[in-house]
Amino acid sequence: MHTFEELKKKNRFATIYLDIYSTENLKGLINQLGTSLFRMKKTFGEKMEEFLHSFRYVRPIVSIDQLTGFPSVSFMIADEKEARNTLEELFDLLRERAKKIPIVIAIDEFQQIGNYPEKNIEAMIRG
């Protein structure tokens, strides 16, 4: 977290921190990553426009967390193929944003991915 704070101070990097310990499957990971992307610095209108244009297979559902007041994103995902496509779309969105400013992502409890019922998720993310 200290490293992330230092990177933010320099304004040369965007940062995303995910703690995926509580996730049980690919859908949980997608929801956390989607929420993190949605919370990155942009106006609400820019965020909504970008999200609505970025997803071909599913539509994000934006809500406000009643405890924190922060926006949250979830995805209605029917099956594993749709989940994999959505994850790929999130990475495409990251690639587009990284053209403007490099993005550093830290995934805490990465080993949790090994417990997901979906196979080869670790390879997909590392790729």
What pLDDT is attached to residue 18? 94
Q: What mean pLDDT comes out for the span 74-101?
A: 88
Number of H helices, E strands in the chain: 5, 4
Q: How sure is the predictor about 43, in pLDDT bands with cuts at 50, 70 and 90?
A: low
Domain count, the chain: 1
Share of the chain above pLDDT 70, in %: 87
Point out the least confidently predicted range of 20-24, 35-39, 87-91, 106-110: 35-39
Q: What is the CA radius of gyration of the chain?
A: 14
Instruction: Tell me the per-residue pLDDT of 15-27, one tens digit each, with 9 for 90 and over.
Output: 999 999 999 999 9
**Which range of residues forms the domain containing residue 107?**
2-126
Q: What mean pLDDT comes out for the span 42-51?
A: 67
> Between 93 and 48, whose confidence is greater?
93
Q: Which range is most confident: 1-5, 8-12, 39-43? A: 1-5
Cα 85-88-90 angle, rounded to 5 deg: 115
Question: What is the 3-state secondary structure of 73-99?
Answer: EEECCCCHHHHHHHHHHHHHHHHHHHC
Does the pLDDT value for residue 54 go beyond 90? no
CA distance 90 to 107: 15
CA distance 115 to 85: 20
